[in-house]
Every structure is written in C-alpha cells, then in structure tokens.
A = this chain, B = another copy of it.
Amino acid sequence: MATVTPRRPSGFGEYLPHEQIEFNRLMDIIRGTYEKYGFVPLDTPVLELSGVLLAKEAGETSKQIYRFEHGRNDLSMRFDLTVPLARYVAEHEGQLAFPFRRYAIGKVYRAERAQAGRFREFYQADIDVIGSNSPIVDAEFPAIINEIFEKFKFGEFTIRINNRMVLNGFFEGIGLRASSKDVLRIVDKMEKITESELVSELKNIGLSDEQVADVLRFTAITGSNDEILEQLKQLDVRSELLDDGIAKLEALVRSLRTMGVPESRFKIDLKIARGLDYYTGTVYETVLDEHPEVGSVCSGGRYDDLASYYTNTSLPGVGISIGLSRLFYKLREAGIIEPTAQSPAKVVVMPLTENQIEDGLNVAALLREMGIATVLYTELDKVAKKLRYADRMGFGYVVLIGAQEAEAGTVSLKDMRTGKSLTIAKSDLASYIV
C-alpha cells in the first residue's frame, strides 16, 4: 500500500519522455559540434572537497553551495564546470598535452531561491582551450556557437563580441586606470538601467563630467563591424592597451569572415563586458534575435590564468558555456520547442494474438538488424487499443502480424502519417520504411 507521496525537492526538474528526447537531441548537437572542433570530453566528480572547490572566494555563489560533512570529509557539490576544470588541469598537468581543448556537459548545483526558470540542478555545456595565448583561438568560439545555434533552428541569433582590452584601454586613456574595474561593472549593466541612473552611478565612483561624457560617447559607438572598428581607430583618446585591443578585435572579425561565419551573426558591441573579473580579452554573448528576453544563451571569453590557486603554471585560455537547462525551459515556454516524439523508435511491431508472438520477435529482430529502432508491443490488447498506443507514442509505422500474415510470411504495414496500410513480405520491410 502506497505510503509516501512521490515528489522532488523544489528546483530539481525532470522531463517527460518527449521532452527528454528533445533535450538529448540538443545535447547531441552540442556534443557533436564540440567534437568536430577537436574538443576532448571530460567528466569530473559532482562532489569535490570544499577546501579545494572553494579555494577562490566565489562571491554570491558561495552562499549557494550544497556543502556538507560526511565522515571526515567536508564536501561540496560543484556549482559550475570551470573550477573543476582548473582543479583537473592542475592535478593532471603532467599528463596533458597543451593547448588542452576540453568539453564538459554536466549537471551543476546552486541552492538559489527557487522560482520559475531557475533550477537548483541544471546542465551546463562548456568548452575551453587552455594554455594558448594565440588570438586565433578566440575566433573558433563564435564559429562553434554559429554552428550549434544554426543546427538548433531557434531562428536568427547574434553573437555579440568585444574585447576587455578595448574597454580598459579606453578607460586608461581618459585617466580611469585605477577605477576601470568599477567602470566596467557599471557599463556592463547599461542595458538594464536608464541613462540618468548610469550617469549618477559613474559620478558616484568619482568620474568627472568630462569622463562621464567620454564614457557615454564611447559606448554609443555603433554601426557595422567595420564602422565600429573605424570609429575606434579615430578616437582622440589613445593608449597602448586600447590599440592592442582594437587590433585583436579587428583580427577576430577578419578570422570569423575567413571561417565563413555570416556577417549578420556576429556584431561588435562595446557595451559587453561580462560580469566576472576573470575575463581579460575577448568576450562573447549570444542572443536570440526573436527572443531577447531569454538573455544571453551562450557566453564566455578569454582569461589570463585559469588555475592560479592550484598551480604556478600560467594557464591562459578561452571558454564559453551554454546554460542548456535554462535555454530549454525558456524556449519551451515561448513555444519554440514543442517536442512530439515519445520514443526513439520509428516502428512498433504488434502481434495480434499470442500465436504471432514469436513472429513478432522475429520481425522486430529483423528490423533492428537493419538499424531501424523498433519497439515490440507485447500486450495482447484489442487492435483498437494497440493503435491508440501507437498513435500516442508517435511511431511512424505500425507492423501488424495476424494469423494470415504469419502463415504467408508477410506483415501488414501501416504508415501512421498517411493512415494507409499495405501487406508486404517481411523481407521488403526496410524498403518501405523511410
């Protein structure tokens, strides 16, 4: 007798079959693309030693850790895939070839306040190239994002690119070297606050009227990629860092063109800074043109040093992350993702009575041998109930085997889209199933 209500802790989602099939299809696109670019799969433990995982003060995040004592261990569940990567690379440094290209698709845990679209367990899909200063590495990431989101078919999208050196170089040029981090933080939220709020925040941290005007003039630079680069070169404000940043941004644009990324899909945006201190060069954000409300669906950038807490080896790199669970949730809500298939199988084989069960086994084995994913329906229900099941599951084809068919070595094949049935030889099945 049932005594316990089956339920989950809040913030811990799971999918129904048709959703899971679609979610896995998206994961497969990501994985396939990451591998095509030569990224190696990596899978680190979900639990880490707290002292190791939390070596670096994680700010807001540190309040959201699932942390507990077990025996003599102080353990924490990973909250992202970057810190475990840093730990991994430092731990196995001598056994890895650099530049080290890895991808990781896995669950991470944050004890956030539960609300719609915020999960406490969710998937991230990351790639990083570790141990290279080559600017050419930076160009591969937008090419990969382009390929993945093209395959996703969620409509047009824009990869916003920028370079922290351009921002910091400009701030340095107007005498804000010391406070450039604070200015960055404010610029980063420009799209979410009004201009007067922006001005007062900038003044609050000590900018002069002239400096505020400079910042506004700078972030107002728009146009095509070439136009923005041209305006940057024409600025009266100059610094070595700025020039270097502009050259890198220009090289990135050139490389993306060489790789065939459509010009409409990548766009220099000087307001992109990315929250984290962590980034030091190129930064990326990706928005769905028709669903800007989803926010950035894939972000990342270049950093100077991945694992300074764990190793003295300098490990510069570039990385991006797709927040797949959130993306899936938002696009399902917006009606962009509407999965229908309830089974990975295309065909269901249905023996009509007990006497045709062995024939059913045989036909199912035959279909699978031909590489066709097949369900053998084993219940001896009435035909109408059988067909309702087939319909509900969304199979493309139903193979019915009655006494007559079994006798003649044939089957009755029903195409569920057209509704048409025909009787064919078992051996001809493959040629009828598209």
Contact = CB atoms under 8 A, between A and B. Distances in A.
Given A14-B45, A70-B111, A38 B308 contact: no
A134 B378 contact: yes
Nearest to A254: B358
A14 B66 CA distance: 21
A45 B344 contact: no
Interface string A1-32: 11111111100111111001101100000000
Contact of A91 (B6, B73, B95, B343): B6
A352 B343 CA distance: 50
Interface string A107-151: 101010000000001000000000010101101100100000000
> Of residues A97, A101, A380, which shows the largest number of chain B Cβ atoms within 10 Å of its Cβ?
A97
A374 B38 contact: yes
A44 B1 CA distance: 24
A7 B121 contact: no
A101 B389 CA distance: 13
Nearest to A14: B44
A275 interface: no
A253 interface: no
> Of residues A1, A258, A380, which shows the largest number of chain B Cβ atoms within 10 Å of its Cβ?
A258
Nearest to A365: B259
B378 A258 contact: no
A165 interface: no
B8 A49 contact: yes
A225 interface: no
A139 to B, nearest CB: 7
B365 A2 contact: no
A92 to B, nearest CB: 6
Contact of A6 (B9, B52, B137): B52
Contacts of A70: 66, 68, 111
Interface in A80-105: 86-88, 90-92, 95-97, 99, 101-102
A296 interface: no
A218 B392 CA distance: 47
A35 interface: yes
A48 interface: yes
A36 interface: yes
Contacts of A59: none
A133 to B, nearest CB: 9
Interface string A357-378: 1101110110011011111111
A36 B86 CA distance: 38
A329 interface: no
A6 B310 contact: yes
Contact of A75 (B7, B9, B69, B260): B9
Given A97-B392, A258-B362, A20 B38 contact: no
28 contacts: A2-B90, A4-B51, A4-B55, A6-B310, A7-B49, A9-B47, A9-B49, A14-B43, A14-B44, A16-B95, A20-B40, A20-B41, A21-B41, A35-B345, A35-B373, A36-B373, A38-B343, A38-B345, A38-B348, A38-B375, A38-B376, A40-B342, A40-B343, A68-B70, A97-B342, A99-B379, A134-B380, A140-B376
- What 9 pairs across the A-B complex have the smallest Cβ distances? A38-B375, A38-B345, A68-B68, A134-B378, A12-B45, A35-B344, A6-B310, A6-B90, A6-B91
